[in-house]
Amino acid sequence: MCGIVGYIGKRKAYPILIKGLHRLEYRGYDSAGVALINEQGQLNIYKAKGKVAELETFAADKDTSGTIGIAHTRWATHGEPNTVNAHPHYSESERLAIIHNGIIENYAVLKAGLQQEGYTFKSETDTEVLVQLIEYTQMDKHVDLKTAVQLALQQVVGAYAIAVLDKEHPDTLIAARKGSPLVVGIGEDEYFLASDATPIVEYTDQVIYIEDEEVVVLTVNSQLSIFNYQLSTINGVDKTPQIKRLELSLSQLEKGGYPHFMLKEIFEQPRTLTDSMRGRVNVRQDNIALSGFIDNKERFLNAKRIIITACGTSWHAGLIAMYAIEEFAQIPVEVEYSSEFRYRKPVINKDDVVIAISQSGETADTLAAIQLAKSKGAFIFSICNVIGASIPRVSDSGCYTHVGPEIGVASTKAFTAQVTALTMLALCIGREKGTMSEDKYLAVVRELGRIPDKISRVLEQDARIADFAKTFTYAQNFIYLGRGYNYPVAMEGALKLKEISYIHAEGYPAAEMKHGPIALISQEMPVVVVAPRCGTYEKVVSNIQEIKARKGKVIAVVTEGDEIVRKIADYVIEVPESEECLTPLLTVIPLQLLAYHIAVVKGCDVDQPRNLAKSVTVE
């Protein structure tokens, strides 16, 4: 969380930084700020509480000149979201300015030491401690800024990506990372710096991904040097930078005529799933080829257990995968919240396969969970969307979902692609192990090829869903029910609603309703029931009867032509018939649309809901 951006070159930095902040706003939007060194060598900092637009208003009549600068959009960790706690932060003498994404865990100890040396603090942030420490080191040891940054970071425990300006050296921009992402874009006589490539893509497609424990020094005369600062010599080792080509286009970062990124991303799903399957699902040859599996077949075939670890929506995709892997590959699966897994001293064996699922590939808890599992010898396979992110980089193997940038904070197209990738993996293992019949394998592979068109059919009901969504803006609570493969879909539907409309919602296995949630049912309570005609359909129909008997309002997601549920439910949304394991790819679509339209009618900020951030790089 938090987005950082920097520029050094010949152009005016401010517009580039502001545009970059808008692109990174998905990472947090509690406050925004910018630091610029003007031609007179003054270091100006402007900050505002709230979104980047507030910063623009605040800075409109200020001196925003300068060809070097750094900027930040914040998701608050230490200290409430106000202007004082907003980044950038000055050092004591106001010679340095810093921006930071991450958490300095030992900031209290460092702060106490600096206070003894006479340093004073204006904010409650851990970040201000770091900039003071760098300045103190610079003065105390009489070293240049790069060395001061290196020495200071050697004392820091935590995760960070930082960028530092020094008004005494207006020709140099310094950045470093450990645990939080950092990309450098290489232009002509200019460099860009950002938490991800989105602020960089319109200027250059040449990038360098900075690694953990590296500091990068960028200068006006087009010099770029990278050092590892944890090595015994303080100068570390000057590394030969590896320049990569960006596979990202500008149009992927725009709304393309939709009012919100979330709606655009929901409607993109027929195409994004086709992209996810391209080169992998071969319907003509009735085959799935997943290179991450093929290259590591033995690890999967010998696995006595598969542990899936993820957070949020990705965790829901993992739960669906548990059903598929156990059904097709007959390997026991455990699905763990990364944050719980990493701290509960889990028993991990060398023959375990750990699957990490993460859209961003940067979620701190998931990254830590796989590092733990890797240290115990487990094989790590990751399903990620962002190419080159930290999680795929530390994994042994994996599968990218290839859905392009997901910008709406509430995840939609990443979820369906994760479910698709995991289903492909389950099919690969099942066929190779001989634990599923060839008929079943072929039926699912062929059906996968039909899913994009079937999603398009579900999307045709958008206007009707938008229409009845209006009825539910009064609701304070929602219940979502589903069974089997569609129980995680119920939880995902509930998560979507609470994330963007701030209505409290819970997802339950439908049969659990009678053990508690049924007490909540009244004519005020909307209940969304995911009830495609498969598996335990009849039992779910009984659950719907139980809700109606207590006057609850039922919105049912059913298979096309279902006349039974149509007679008892208040609202019905139909999805095409499908293989049971693939029904989540269809049933989740109306739930995404329902949450979206309720949030829109309530006037909520759909793409940037309060308190949330898309990429959670803190624990």
Residues belonging to the active site: 2, 614
Contacts of 397 (CB under 8 A, 6+ apart): 292, 293, 295, 296, 379, 380, 381, 382
Contacts of 544 (CB under 8 A, 6+ apart): 529, 531, 554, 556, 565, 568, 569
Cβ nearer to ligand G6P, comparing 358 with 420: 358
Stretch that binds ligand G6P, among 187-195, 278-286, 309-317, 527-535 (CB under 6 A): 309-317
Cβ nearer to ligand G6P, comparing 384 with 594: 384
In whole angstroms, the minimum distance from the beta carbon of 315 to ligand G6P comes to 7
Task: Decide if 423 contacts 266 (C-beta within 8 A).
Answer: no
Stretch that binds ligand G6P, among 120-128, 342-350, 359-367, 515-523 (CB under 6 A): 359-367
Stretch that binds ligand G6P, among 38-46, 216-224, 509-517, 610-618 (CB under 6 A): 610-618
In whole angstroms, the minimum distance from the beta carbon of 362 to ligand G6P comes to 7
In whole angstroms, the minimum distance from the beta carbon of 356 to ligand G6P comes to 8
Stretch that binds ligand G6P, among 59-67, 191-199, 291-299, 310-318 (CB under 6 A): 310-318
Stretch that binds ligand G6P, among 197-205, 353-361, 445-453, 558-566 (CB under 6 A): 353-361
Identify residue 496 by its one-letter amino acid code: K
Residue nearest to ligand G6P (CB): 312
Tokens standing for 594? 């329902």
Site string for ligand G6P, 361-390 (x = CB under 6 A): --x--x------------------------
In whole angstroms, the minimum distance from the beta carbon of 598 to ligand G6P comes to 18
C-alpha span between 360 and 344 (Å, rounded): 24
Pairing between β-strand 281-282 and β-strand 3-8 as defined by DSSP bridges: unpaired
Cβ nearer to ligand G6P, comparing 369 with 424: 369
Distances (CA, A) of 423 to 73, 326, 397, 448: 37, 11, 17, 9
**DSSP structure string for 365-390:** HHHHHHHHHHHTT-EEEEEESSTT-H
358 binds ligand G6P (CB under 6 A): yes
Q: Site for ligand G6P (CB under 6 A): how many residues?
A: 15
Cβ nearer to ligand G6P, comparing 135 with 499: 499
Stretch that binds ligand G6P, among 155-163, 244-252, 326-334, 354-362 (CB under 6 A): 354-362
**DSSP structure string for 90-113:** E-TTS-EEEEEEEEETTHHHHHHH
Q: Which of 176, 616, 617, 618 binds ligand G6P (CB under 6 A)?
A: 616
Distances (CA, A) of 207 to 71, 179, 182, 199, 242: 19, 19, 10, 12, 8
Q: Which of positions 396-415 make contact with ligand G6P (CB under 6 A)?
A: 409, 411
599 binds ligand G6P (CB under 6 A): no
359 binds ligand G6P (CB under 6 A): yes
Stretch that binds ligand G6P, among 117-125, 280-288, 293-301, 356-364 (CB under 6 A): 356-364
Q: Which of positions 494-513 make contact with ligand G6P (CB under 6 A)?
A: none
In whole angstroms, the minimum distance from the beta carbon of 114 to ligand G6P comes to 33
C-alpha span between 481 and 490 (Å, rounded): 5
Q: Which of 360, 390, 536, 608 binds ligand G6P (CB under 6 A)?
A: 360
The helix (H) or strand (E) run that includes residue 74 is strand 68-74
Q: Which of 311, 322, 421, 575 binds ligand G6P (CB under 6 A)?
A: 311
SS (H, E, C) 201-270: CCCCCEEEECCCCEEEEEECCCCEEEEECCCCCCCCCEECCCCEECCCCHHHHCCCCCCCHHHHHHHCHH
Phi-psi region of 125 (alpha: psi -120 to 50; beta: other; left: phi over 0): beta
Tokens standing for 520? 């909540």
In whole angstroms, the minimum distance from the beta carbon of 171 to ligand G6P comes to 37
**Cα–Cα–Cα angle for 102, 106, 112, rounded to 5 degrees:** 125
Cβ nearer to ligand G6P, comparing 411 with 559: 411
CB atoms under 10 Å from CB of 577, counted, come to 16
Cβ nearer to ligand G6P, comparing 25 with 579: 25
In whole angstroms, the minimum distance from the beta carbon of 329 to ligand G6P comes to 23
**DSSP structure string for 484-553:** GGGHHHHHHHHHHHHHHH--EEEEEEGGGGGGTGGGG-STT-EEEEEE-SSTTHHHHHHHHHHHHHTT-E
Q: Which of positions 445-504 make contact with ligand G6P (CB under 6 A)?
A: none
Cβ nearer to ligand G6P, comparing 363 with 395: 363
In whole angstroms, the minimum distance from the beta carbon of 383 to ligand G6P comes to 9
The helix (H) or strand (E) run that includes residue 400 is strand 397-400
C-alpha span between 192 and 175 (Å, rounded): 11
Cβ nearer to ligand G6P, comparing 272 with 359: 359
Q: Which of positions 312-331 make contact with ligand G6P (CB under 6 A)?
A: 312-314
Give me the residues that bind ligand G6P (CB under 6 A), please: 311-314, 358-360, 363, 366, 409, 411, 612, 614-616
